[in-house]
Structure 1
Amino acid sequence: MNATERGIFEQFEFWANAPNPAPFSDSTAIHVFVGCGTSFYIAQALAAAANADGVQSIAVTGGEWWHRPHYYLAAGQTAHVIVLSRSGESTETVRAAEVSQKAGHHVTALTCAEDSSITRFADTVLYAPTHPIEGIVMTASASLMLLMGMRLAGITIGAAEIAAAEAALEAVDTAANSLLEGRSHFVFLGTGPLAGIAQEGGLKLQEMSLSYTQSYPTADYRHGPITLADERSVAVILYSPEGQADDAALAKDLISKGVRVLGFGGPGTVEIAVGGEAAARGLVCLPALQILGEREAQLKGLDSISPRGLSKVVVLG
């Protein structure tokens, strides 16, 4: 088992020790989830989940919130800004925290690095150490920040969800090679809180295996992108509890075109049992999406611990 695999399969012990903060106390304030790359996709999932739980929220990339917060928040409006950064050193996110604090916003940092730069500009810090062998690609750290953010948004995550995530990981790992072999076009689909997770799944496979991937809201895939779906394609559908029938109809159409479909919580060429609310489903699916990227990297003979062109922390000069 290589370092990436170990980081994926061994992450659950870190989940068990993650902070369990008190949920948001002010549902009238706007909550702004900020991150870059993986952290932004996690932020999107958290903002959607928080809205569904009655907490007004948006997600913004670190660079946008640093330079252009006025496009996302009305003048004079204050917010609770939740910044996500594994290292606590990503320039855009650190600067986003700094300008937020200067503007009078309450800042909460979700990070896997204690006493990092981002914590200097945070009123509240939620810290969860990640797997020590995690490489450039975010695996356990992504799950940990999603877990902490979900608890902060009032979503209950406990032993049942952790066990479900372990089961989904094992099931996808068993099916991964037969699903991926001979395929070169990869699509990730989800809605609501699962849309950000679908984007993160696409990013993981892209980073690890140097493959081109696409991600769309599930129903939108029919509006143009489906023209590329054929016998070279794999589609990953994160089924929404509210749209099972529509998602299943799309899966049927894709399979008829020769697409192999991995269905989380619904029909597919391979079906992975996932239940519960949409927000919790995202966390349950995340490790399984990570191993999918690793298995594609192995099929291509690539070492995912240090992908081409990437660095562990993006620091701008």
Structure 2
Amino acid sequence: MSHVEDELKDQPACWTRAAAEVIRFRDRLPAPGERVAYVGCGTSYHMARAAAALREDAGLGETDAHPASEFPARRRYDRVVALTRSGTTTEVLDLLVALRGHVPTTAITADPHTPVMTAADRAVVLDYADERSVVQTRFATTVLTLLRAHLGLHTDAVIQDARTALTAPLPQGLERAAQFTFLGRGWSVGLAHEAALKMREAALAWSESYPAMEYRHGPVSVTTTGTATWMFGPPPDGLAEVVRATGATWVADGLDPLADLVRAQRLAVATAVARGLDPDRPRHLTRSVILTDP
């Protein structure tokens, strides 16, 4: 069994712990009314997008999400929160150093023995959610669980949905689909982007992701027999019928969107295995992107 399979199965326990411990970190996380930016790279950026949408929708303050490499230097924030599993990603460290003394910063990381601990003003360490696989699963979702709990949006029902996501069978033959499209609305758009990234990373699969209402504005043209369209959260009226009419597989299970991401992680692993790939070691990828000076 691969590391990623073990790690994704551990998510209910990690989420339970994160929700229980969030009170320890309240002074390090955004306060109501602050103007906040979440930043990250890759998977962490997609979690940042979901967290930003949740916070702003909850009415707790203007909240943006940016790739660390594309942070808008002229935009003013009361706090910047960086998500980084490894604590060594060059773009994140460079941004935190540039912001020092100008904007309060918090890093959420899995490794307390990395440069991010001194690059950021404050740190939240979720070392119990760290991973051996290059592909992120439990760290990313545990970070988002922590942030949901901080907003008062986490419930025990999410944990139960995660357990269901780990045990319910995937639609038969789904791992053999020729193309995958993931859709979301609001905060689950970030989850759709993350699901598509998982499919590309682990399984080298043709995968795309969109806000659900944008799907019919062009992307639906690639949907046909032998492809799959996966919806995170409630779909727009009539969308399921549009997809089924193309002959594609429609996937929407009614789980909490974060729990549904666990199912998408399982699909990525199953597709990788079906293609004879090692989901722990995607080609051309490493645990952290560390750039060197030219």
Q: TM-score, normalised by structure 1?
A: 0.85
User: Are the counterparts in 1 of residues 36 and 77 from structure 2 also a CA contact under 8 Å?
Assistant: no
Q: Please state if 1:261 is matched with 2:273.
A: no
SS of match in other structure, 1:215: strand
How many angstroms apart in 2 are the aligned matches of 1:296 and 1:314? 25
Equivalent positions of 1:296-311 (< 5 A) are: 296-311=271-286
Structure 1 residues 253 and 78 mapped into 2: Cα distance closer, same or farther (>3 Å)?
A: closer
Equivalent positions of 1:160-199 (< 5 A) are: 160-171=157-168, 174-181=169-176, 183-199=177-193
Cα offset, 1:95, TM superposition:
1.3
How many angstroms apart in 1 are the aligned matches of 2:228 and 2:158? 26
Structure 1 residues 78 and 300 mapped into 2: Cα distance closer, same or farther (>3 Å)?
A: closer
How many angstroms apart in 2 are the aligned matches of 1:16 and 1:292? 23
Cα offset, 1:41, TM superposition:
0.3
Which sections of structure 1, spanning at least 5 residues, go unmatched?
Answer: 264-271, 275-280
Aligned partner of 2:68 in structure 1 is 62
Cα offset, 1:128, TM superposition:
0.7
Which sections of structure 2, spanning at least 5 residues, go unmatched?
Answer: none
SS of match in other structure, 2:100: helix
Aligned partner of 1:273 in structure 2 is 254
Cα offset, 1:85, TM superposition:
0.1
How many angstroms apart in 2 are the aligned matches of 1:213 and 1:223? 17
User: Are the counterparts in 2 of residues 180 and 234 from structure 1 also a CA contact under 8 Å?
Assistant: no
Aligned partner of 1:268 in structure 2 is none
How many angstroms apart in 2 are the aligned matches of 1:208 and 1:130? 23
Aligned partner of 1:143 in structure 2 is 141
Is 130-139 or 205-214 further displaced after alignment?
A: 130-139
User: Are the counterparts in 1 of residues 110 and 130 from structure 2 also a CA contact under 8 Å?
Assistant: no
Which among 143, 154, 157 is matched to residue 154 of structure 2? 157
How many angstroms apart in 1 are the aligned matches of 2:148 and 2:273? 32
SS of match in other structure, 1:175: coil
Cα offset, 1:13, TM superposition:
2.1
Cα offset, 1:136, TM superposition:
0.4
Structure 1 residues 208 and 51 mapped into 2: Cα distance closer, same or farther (>3 Å)?
A: same
How many angstroms apart in 2 are the aligned matches of 1:251 and 1:63? 37
Q: Please state if 1:124 is matched with 2:122.
A: yes
Q: Please state if 1:80 is matched with 2:79.
A: yes
Q: C-alpha root-mean-square deviation of aligned residues, in Å?
A: 1.8
Counterpart residue type for residue 11 of structure 1: Q
How many angstroms apart in 2 are the aligned matches of 1:249 and 1:158? 30
Name the % identity. Answer: 27
How many angstroms apart in 1 are the aligned matches of 2:243 and 2:273? 26
Cα offset, 1:63, TM superposition:
0.6
